[in-house]
Amino acid sequence: MSEPMTGSPPDEGKQDGSESPRPRRRGSRGGRGRKRPAQSPVQLSQSRESSERSVTADAPDAGTGSKAPGRKPRVGDTRPAPVLVPKFPPPTPAKGVAAAEPSAGGEAKSPKRRRRGGRGRATGARRGEGGASEQVTPLDPEVLEMRRGRERKGRPVGRYLMCVHVQESATQLAVLEGLALTEHYVSRRQDDANQIDGNIYIGRVQNVLPGMEAAFVDIGTPKNAVLYRGDVRYDRDDLLSANGDGQGGSGGSRQSSARIEDLLENGQSILCQVTKNPIGAKGGRLTQEVSIPGRFVVLIPGSDSYGISKRLPDEERKRLRRILDEVRPKGHGIIVRTAAEGASADELRRDMSSLIELWEKIDKAAKRTKTPTLLYCEPEMAVRIIREEFNSNYRGVVIDDLGLYEDVRAYVATISPELADRVEYYDTDEDPLPIFERFHVHEQLHKALDRKVWLQSGGSLIIERTEALTVIDVNTGKNVGTSNLEETVYRNNLEAAEEIARQLRLRDIGGIIVIDFIDMENERNRADVMRAFRDALARDKTRTQAFDISELGLVQMTRKRISEGLVEAFSSTCPTCNGRGIVFDDSLL
């Protein structure tokens, strides 16, 4: 990922004093006379690191849940719907790795609006932490320095910033690229029961539907989840057809002609993992291909496959492959994550060992029960996003809740001690402005909820969501151009392509998307717009696929739907029009 440009020192003028130094232009970055190549709005940075769920903590002990509805599941709960958010336990800190020391900056000099590490417990331990600690050798200081990232005047330099705002009823997390809001997440307490993506359950098959090639599974949540045939895992030796011939394959039902009624039966207990949260009237989606992500690798229990992230350079992939051939565990598949760049063999081995230990606990708990039960629960939204996204490309994580700040800082200190000092507490006693107003998130959030988006050139986007798909219309609006119509339309479409990609991320729009760009006659211009659009989409960690401009000037694309969008999270259906946006004239009916 490209780093932001750093400014040159100001000019000092001529030594003879014959001419006074030319004043710097306000807001410019760089020295006087420094020429930079002209950049169009479509010259984009490299794609961001792919988000992957990581699991670094042991599953909490099993227990019995209460029957209060609308709260997050608890490990060991059985029906009715699980409740209570378990405290997220970080891994035991590495022995020999120094915990991040509190900064003295919070007490010296004048008061600041943020305090960097000056409050809270020591970062090496947390409340409720249990289990045996793992003996870990300290990391090489050169490795820590390399992973720490760039600094300027003692302050971290990074393209991104996270702001976490904790309220009584909800938690919001904003990701800023520079000063622009690019991603926003919200988790309401009343909706926590539906935030189950990544959880591992023992489920009971309720109904097998051969015509849909799917089965509904009771996992102890208010709505039954769905398991499609392609996500069923089985052993070919255990599957016999009516004539006694074996069919299928171990974990390979996608290439098999086995029918789902031959694989599952009503009342059967299965181990499964949620891959998609319930949305609207639809229940969650399940898979039996359980995966447990860690800091550097993803463990796939019972599989023999392994791979390495394609986002890594070729030389690094070769190095990691040599290490993987030596440390790969038997009986389990491994996928090496992008975060493993520069990791040593010992670090990979420790990460695998902790994941295998976690899987053994889950597997042991699964064998003790046949009723719908939660075996492993993902942490709360803020911790989960920070776990998956935070790296040296972020100049900081600012949190306005002291308890969450202590939890996150302690967790980061155990997995990435070189980044622990970038977790900051935003003290409202020192700065009366709310955190979202201080970092200009509030005003950008209001604009993101509008159906109309203005472009800097004067053009506009109209974003309309329907039941089947989302439609985006591109207009020139106030943009009248300077030369000719084709050039005006081309420049407007280039700017729109960049903004559409940002809006898709910010509004978390998923499913089928149709974009109506303004018609262009020049084939080269059409190709340039599509190239710019795909480059902008490459920064999106969510899987996308965009097709070329059609004869009607439309671009069809898909974006994986993970959860409800931004507008849906902040709104409810109008009781007057039932969401149609119109009211009929009763006098004519």
Give 199-255 pLDDT, tens digit per residue.
999 999 999 999 999 999 999 988 899 999 999 987 665 554 443 554 444 444 444
For the cut 60, the answer to whether the pLDDT of residue 303 exceeds it is yes
Give the confidence band of 381 by pLDDT, cuts at 50, 70, 90.
confident
- Please give the average per-residue pLDDT across 399-403, as a whole number: 93
Greatest Cα pair distance in the chain = 101
In terms of DSSP H, where are the helices of 212-367?
Answer: 260-263, 314-327, 345-367
Identify each DSSP E strand in 104-219 by its residue range.
114-115, 151-152, 155-156, 160-166, 170-177, 180-188, 200-209, 214-218
Spell out the domain ranges in the chain. Answer: 196-290, 449-569
**Given the structure tokens 């919001």, which residue do they identify?**
172
Q: What percent of the chain has pLDDT over 90?
A: 39
Give the confidence band of 131 by pLDDT, cuts at 50, 70, 90.
very low
Give the confidence band of 145 by pLDDT, cuts at 50, 70, 90.
low
| Distance, first Cα to last Cα, the chain | 60
Q: List the CATH code of the domain at 196-290.
A: 2.40.50.140
Lowest-confidence region among 96-110, 383-397, 494-508: 96-110
State both tokens at 416: 């990435």
Give the confidence band of 116 by pLDDT, cuts at 50, 70, 90.
very low
User: Which among 546, 489, 554 is positioned nearest to 522, based on CA atoms?
Assistant: 489
State both tokens at 290: 């359980």
For the cut 80, the answer to whether the pLDDT of residue 492 exceeds it is yes
Give the confidence band of 188 by pLDDT, cuts at 50, 70, 90.
confident
State both tokens at 81: 């719907």
Can you name the residues that pair with 308 across neighbouring β-strands?
336
For residue 565, which amino acid is it? G
For the cut 70, the answer to whether the pLDDT of residue 98 exceeds it is no
For the cut 50, the answer to whether the pLDDT of residue 401 exceeds it is yes
**Given the structure tokens 């998956």, which residue do they identify?**
388
User: What are residue 471's phi and psi, to 5 degrees?
Assistant: -115, 135
* Backbone torsion region of residue 578, taken as left when φ is above 0, otherwise alpha when ψ lies between -120 and 50, otherwise beta: left
Torsion of CA 193, 199, 203, 208, to 10 degrees: 90
CA separation for the pair 396, 49 (Å, rounded): 17
- Please give the average per-residue pLDDT across 488-510, as a whole number: 94
For the cut 50, the answer to whether the pLDDT of residue 446 exceeds it is yes
CA separation for the pair 172, 165 (Å, rounded): 5
**Beta pairing, strands 114-115 & 460-465:** unpaired
pLDDT of residue 195: 80
User: Which among 161, 187, 193 is positioned nearest to 172, based on CA atoms?
Assistant: 187
- Please give the average per-residue pLDDT across 404-426, as a whole number: 89
CA separation for the pair 428, 112 (Å, rounded): 11
Write out pLDDT tens, residues 325-344.
888 888 899 999 887 888 88
pLDDT of residue 551: 84
- Please give the average per-residue pLDDT across 49-75, as a whole number: 45
State both tokens at 347: 């670090």
CA separation for the pair 278, 147 (Å, rounded): 37
Give the confidence band of 397 by pLDDT, cuts at 50, 70, 90.
very high
pLDDT of residue 102: 42
CA separation for the pair 377, 356 (Å, rounded): 17
pLDDT of residue 437: 94
Please say whether the dihedral angle defined by the alpha carbons of residues 114, 153, 117 and 52, taken in this order, is positive or negative.
positive
Question: Please, which contacts does 33-37 make with residues 24 or more away whose CB atoms are closer than 8 Å?
Answer: 34/8
- Please give the average per-residue pLDDT across 111-136, as a whole number: 41
pLDDT of residue 44: 39
Mapped onto helix, strand or coil, the DSSP state of residue 262 is: helix
CA separation for the pair 172, 176 (Å, rounded): 13
**Given the structure tokens 């472009």, which residue do they identify?**
455
Q: How far is CA 54 from CA 134, 231, 385, 563, in A?
A: 19, 21, 10, 18
pLDDT of residue 393: 86
- Please give the average per-residue pLDDT across 396-417, as a whole number: 90
Lowest-confidence region among 1-5, 124-128, 240-244, 513-517: 124-128
Write out pLDDT tens, residues 65-75.
444 445 555 55
pLDDT of residue 518: 93
